[in-house]
Amino acid sequence: MKGMTPIVKVVARIVGGFIFIYGCYIVLYGHLSPGGGFAGGAIIAACFILSRLAFGTTASQEKSASISSSIFESTGGLLFLLIALLGLFVGGYFFINLFPSFGTPGRLVSAGSIPFSNIAIGIKVAAAILSIFVVLASTKYIFKE
Amino acid sequence: MEIFPVLLIAIPLGGAFLIPILYKAWNRLAEIVAGLCLAAVLALSIYLAFFLVPGKPLVYLFGNWPVPLGIAFTVDRLSSFMLLVVSILVFFSYIFAIRYMDHFTGSGKFYTLYLLMLVGMNGVVMTGDLFNMFVFIEIASISSYALVAFGTEAEELEAGFKYMVMGEIASMMILLAIAFIYAATSTLNLADISRSFAAMDKTPGFWFVLILLMSGFSIKAALVPFHSWLPDAHPSAPAPISALLSGVFIKVLGVYAMARILFNVYGVSRASYPAVFNALLILGLASIIIASLLALYQKDYKRLLAYSSISQIGYIVLALGIGNEFALIGALAHILSHSLGKGLLFLTSGSVVYRVGERDITKFTGGLGKQMPWTSLSYNLGALSVAGMPPFLGFFSKLFIILGAVKAGFIVPAVVAGLFAVVTLGYLLKITNKVFWGKEGIKGIKESPFVMVFAMVSLVVLLVAGGAFFFWLKPHLLQPAADVLLKGTEYAEIVFRIGAGG
């Protein structure tokens, strides 16, 4: 893929960072406002997909992206499972809230282990959506071979 | 024992997420991790199936939220019985797959999906929450869609797509029913729903929701008017997956979920609402008759077995429709015997495909039994068990279904069930005749590798042992599981007594 016109590239360069930060905001404030790991992860993935569409990729880049996104996806899943298992081994119950009374309710630092679960889900969803995109995009290299 | 339900989910889930990272370092790590996870799951399920006290289910509260509020896993004897059925076949199919999957690339992806499918099935069996059940149904279904299309040939992709469309229609029906139930009762916990239903007027809407659920689960179980996806999907998958799909998948997602909701949540019994049970009876009879007759005309090794699965699922649903104690024990025994038997038959199909590379039985000249004695022996004994010949486990399961039918006064279903056991033997022996028996086989074929033979022979041994020790299995395994269904809405009382304290 060669990438798109300079107009698209310039706009993508400007908005890409903002989209990424907005996605992180949605993930981190998931326990306070609408959103959370899934929605925020999808927005973060959109940022990566935008840059790949605008600037284009080569076959080798697609391959490395598919490997790294699958590793990140598994890491996100494992982190989420780890938080649940920590609840089992520390608190005595699967998925129990590890520090329920830490922080002030309504502020960023609150809600115990829920923000950490949101971060894990965010990593997993972002990597999963990116890897779906990469797989769809790399079929054209497979058919060329 | 308290944390076993969690481990049964967490171990395969952790394995499924570890494999994509590890197998890039060394391919065989995927198999090793999957094998360890499956062995652990098998050990835990065997322990639960035999040592769980009847009438005292494990109620595991997620995050220590008491029963109607949070998600609770409820493992009673029915759940632990299903866990045992699932984990035995999943374990032996895995042993078979170690060598069989040499034909395919991407073993890491295969074992990830394999473990995720196990997570889904274990979850459906253990959960005590309706929406949680839907989520696990989707986990298992989506992994199975990908596994059906794993070969990525045109035929397999088409079958996978068809399966996905039908499966999602079923899931949407179930989701719609869950939405209605949530709107009416404001709860998703099965025990709590059961309590609300008991106090509710039996309006047409109430029965409409039941029909939605039954239709959804009937598509998942591939009962006859809803069966069109199964003969495409099950043969297209790799053989160990075909064994799992036919052996346990349709039973867990279709029959178990249906039985749990009918008996324990709706609390209907044949005495109170005979119409519901007559509907199941008719669905079961239609499945037995139509699928058996269709199976007689099949030319494809695995497609014939797939039609046979529909017909055997018909037996189980027929027994649920009869609904007395004998029939329910027969249904549960048939779940066990058919999962072992049909799993075994699909594994032998994999063994034949592995060596010969051909599934069309008209192209075989016979005589394969000389070159592949163990595969041939396993196929023949498995076929006898599926058809219901003594002394195998399959005989006792069909016997109890027929006894239950006679006891309840359903002579025609009993006669049909007995007659079509013979038809079953007829179409299964067609493969024996065309493929295994005869003088001269195809040249240069030898027996499959040791692990594949080991998996098949182990299942044969289990079938024979199940038949020999049936009257030990009945009080220790089948009777407590059938009691859970017979007790009906007492399920809700038990769950609240154990789980509401928090």
Residue that wins the pLDDT comparison between A92 and B73: B73
pLDDT over 70 (residue B445)? yes
Domain ranges of chain A: 6-144
Residue B321 and residue B372 share a domain: yes
Q: What DSSP letter does each residue of B300-338 carry, written as one string?
A: BHHHHHHHHHHHHHHHHHHHHHH-SHHHHHHHHHHHHHH
Q: Is B172 left (phi over 0), alpha (psi -120 to 50) or beta?
A: alpha
Contact B166/B160 with Cβ under 8 angstroms?
no
Phi then psi dihedrals of residue B60, to 5 deg: -100, 120
B216 and B125 in one domain? yes
Least confident of A33-37, B129-133, B289-293, B420-424: A33-37
Higher pLDDT residue, B155 or A100? Answer: B155
Answer whether A87 touches B (CB < 8 Å). Answer: yes
Whole-number Cα distances in Å, B127 to B182, B257, B278, B493: 17, 10, 28, 16
Residues A93, B61: C-beta atoms closer than 8 Å = yes
Which residues lie below 8 Å from residue B115, measured CB to CB, with a gap of 6+?
B12, B13, B15, B16, B19, B34, B37, B38
Q: Are strands B72-75 and B58-61 parallel, antiparallel or unpaired?
A: antiparallel
What is the structure's pLDDT at B400?
A: 93
Residue B463: predicted pLDDT? 93
Residue A136: which pLDDT band, with cuts at 50, 70 and 90? confident
Q: Report the alpha-carbon angle B436-B437-B442, nearest 5.
A: 60
How many A×B Cβ pairs under 8 Å?
A: 44
Give domain status of residue B72, yes or no.
yes
DSSP B80-92: HHHHHHHHHHHHH
How close B20 gets to chain A, by Cα (Å)?
A: 7
- In the predicted model, what is the mean pLDDT of residues A33-45? 90
Q: How far apart are CA A7 and CA B422, in angstroms?
A: 74
- B181/B210 Cα distance (integer angstroms): 10
Q: What is the spatial distance between Cα B476 and Cα B468, in angstroms, rounded to a whole number?
A: 14
SS3 assignment, position B192:
helix
Q: Does residue B21 surpass a pLDDT of 50?
A: yes
Distance CA B334, CA B316 (A): 7
- Strand runs (DSSP E) across chain A, as ranges? none
Other beta carbons within 10 angstroms of residue B416's beta carbon come to 21
> What CA–CA distance (Å, rounded) separates A31 from A55?
35
Q: Quick check: A2 pLDDT over 60?
A: yes
Are residue B341 and residue B410 in the same domain, yes or no?
yes
Looking at residue B124, its pLDDT comes to 94
Question: Are A94 and B3 inside 8 Å of each other by CB?
Answer: yes
The alpha helices in B357-408, defined as continuous H runs, are: 368-371, 373-387, 393-407
Is B355 within the bounds of a domain?
Answer: yes
Asked whether the predicted pLDDT for residue A45 surpasses 90, the reply is: yes
Question: Can you give the pLDDT at residue B202?
Answer: 84
SS in 3 state form for B445-482? Answer: CCCCCHHHHHHHHHHHHHHHHHHHCHHHHHHHHHHHHH
A76: closest chain B residue by CA = B17
Closest Cα in chain A, distance from residue B339 (Å):
31
Closest residue in A to B502 (Cα–Cα): A93
Residue B273 burial (C-beta neighbours within 10 Å; 0-12, 13-18, 19+): middle
Partner residues linked to A28 by β-bridges = none
CA distances for B63 relative to A60, A93, B1, B129, B290, angstroms? 45, 5, 17, 14, 48
Which of A78, A81, A96 is opposite residue B64, by nearest beta carbon?
A96
Yes or no: say if B46 and B37 are a contact pair by the CB < 8 Å rule.
Answer: no
Inside any domain, residue B437: yes
pLDDT at A142 over 70: no
pLDDT band at B423 (very low <50, low <70, confident <90, very high): very high
Please report which confidence band the pLDDT of residue B371 belongs to, taking 50, 70 and 90 as the band edges. Answer: confident
Whether residues B21 and A93 touch (CB distance < 8 A) is answered with: no
The tens digit of pLDDT for each residue in B244-256 reads: 999 899 999 999 9
Partners of residue A77 in chain B, C-beta under 8 Å: 13, 16-17
From the CB of residue B499, how many other CB atoms can be counted at a distance below 10 Å?
24
What pLDDT is recorded for position A144? 60
- Taking any CB pair shorter than 8 Å as contact, residues of chain B touching chain A are 3, 6, 10, 13-14, 16-21, 24, 60-64
| First and final C-alpha spacing in chain B | 18
Percent of chain B scored above 70 by pLDDT?
A: 99
Question: Is residue B502 scored above 60 in pLDDT?
Answer: no
Mark whether B21 and B169 lie in a shared domain.
yes
Contacting residues of A for B67, CB less than 8 Å apart: none
CA distance B86 to B13: 16
User: How many domains is chain B partitioned into structurally?
Assistant: 2
Q: Are residues B259 and B179 in the same domain?
A: yes
Q: Is the per-residue pLDDT at A145 higher than 60?
A: no
pLDDT for residue B243 = 93
Same domain, B442 and B494: no
Same domain, B376 and B496: no
Structural domain boundaries, residue B417 = 305-468
By Cβ distance, the residue of B3, B13, B62 closest to A81 is: B13
Q: Exposed (0-12), middle (13-18) or buried (19+): which is B412, by Cβ within 10 Å?
A: exposed
Report the pLDDT value the prediction gives residue B102, as an integer from 0 to 100.
81
CA distances from B322 to B172, B222, B240 (A): 28, 19, 33
Task: Examine residue B294 and state whether it is found in any structural domain, yes or no.
Answer: no
Whether residue B220 is found in the same domain as residue B93: yes
Distance CA B216, CA B173 (A): 5
> pLDDT tens-digit profile of B285-335?
999 999 999 999 888 999 999 999 999 999 999 999 998 899 999 999 999
Q: Which of B14, B24, B62 minimises the CB distance to A78?
A: B14
**Is position B95 within any domain?**
yes
Considering the domain boundaries, does residue B118 fall inside one? yes
Give yes or no: residues B243 and B385 share one domain.
no
Q: CB contact, 8 Å: A70 with chain B?
A: yes
Q: What is the mean pLDDT of chain B?
A: 90
Q: How far is CA B12 from CA A139, B15, B16, B28, B41, in A?
A: 30, 5, 6, 17, 8
Residues B361-372: what's their mean pLDDT?
A: 83
**Candidates B10, B21, B63; nearest CB to A97:** B63
Residues 6+ apart with CB under 8 A from B148: B156, B159, B160, B163, B233, B234, B236, B237, B241, B245
Position B404 pLDDT exceeds 90: yes
Residue B70 has pLDDT above 80, yes or no: yes
Interface contact A61, partner B, CB < 8 A: no
Q: Quick check: is B336 in a domain?
A: yes
CB contact A96 to B (< 8 Å): yes
Q: Output the CA torsion B70→B73→B74→B79 (10° steps).
A: 150
